[in-house]
């Protein structure tokens, strides 16, 4: 009776220990698996957490507003547009006073998509003045991380 109980335990122990082990570990052959490109919808969020695709105007941060956006690319890895940026902070003082913050033409690049379930969200925005340099009152809005919904 005791032998009947011991045999299944010995077999189980042999299976759990790998039946003797393999010298040198696991051997892998062939090329590494490649990343499958994202093909689902991609969005950007505004400063209120709302999701947008190809917005004509948007407030991506509490400091900068983007208007008159014309999107040339809205792809799985990045989005490209031209538009008008308004910087509400005017660190050095707005040229026309705080009630009328000035605007300037920019190239907009959205990048670094982050997947959330069946969709993705751009997590980074770069603004480049169309006619550099940026106006003196711009407060470092050129490189900005965008909010991405929690997983």
The 3-state secondary structure of 98-122, one letter per residue: CCCCCEEEEEEEEEEEEEECCEEEE
pLDDT for 55: 97
Give alpha helix (H) positions in 17-89.
Answer: none
Q: Are 119 and 151 within 8 A, CB to CB?
A: no
- How would residue 87 be classed by pLDDT, with cut points 50, 70 and 90? confident
CA neighbours within 13 Å on the CB side: how many for 141?
A: 28
Give CA–CA dist 147/122, Å, rounded. 9
* Position 40 confidence tier, pLDDT thresholds 50, 70, 90: confident
DSSP code of 58? B
pLDDT bracket for residue 8 (50, 70, 90): low
Give the lowest-confidence range in 25-29, 66-70, 120-124: 25-29
């Amino acid at each position: 009776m005791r032998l009947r109980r011991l045999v299944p335990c010995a077999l189980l122990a042999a299976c759990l220990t790998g039946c003797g082990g393999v010298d040198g570990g696991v051997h892998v052959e062939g090329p590494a698996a490649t990343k499958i490109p994202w093909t689902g919808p991609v969005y950007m969020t505004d400063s209120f957490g709302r999701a947008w695709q190809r917005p004509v105007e948007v407030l991506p941060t509490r400091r900068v507003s983007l208007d008159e956006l014309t999107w040339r690319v809205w792809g799985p890895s990045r989005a490209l547009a031209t538009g008008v940026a308004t910087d509400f902070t005017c660190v050095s003082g707005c040229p026309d006073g705080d009630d009328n913050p000035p605007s300037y033409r920019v190239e907009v690049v959205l990048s670094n998509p982050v997947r959330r379930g069946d969709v993705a969200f751009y997590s980074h925005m770069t603004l480049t003045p169309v006619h550099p340099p940026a106006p003196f009152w711009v407060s470092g809005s050129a490189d900005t991380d965008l909010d991405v919904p929690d997983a």
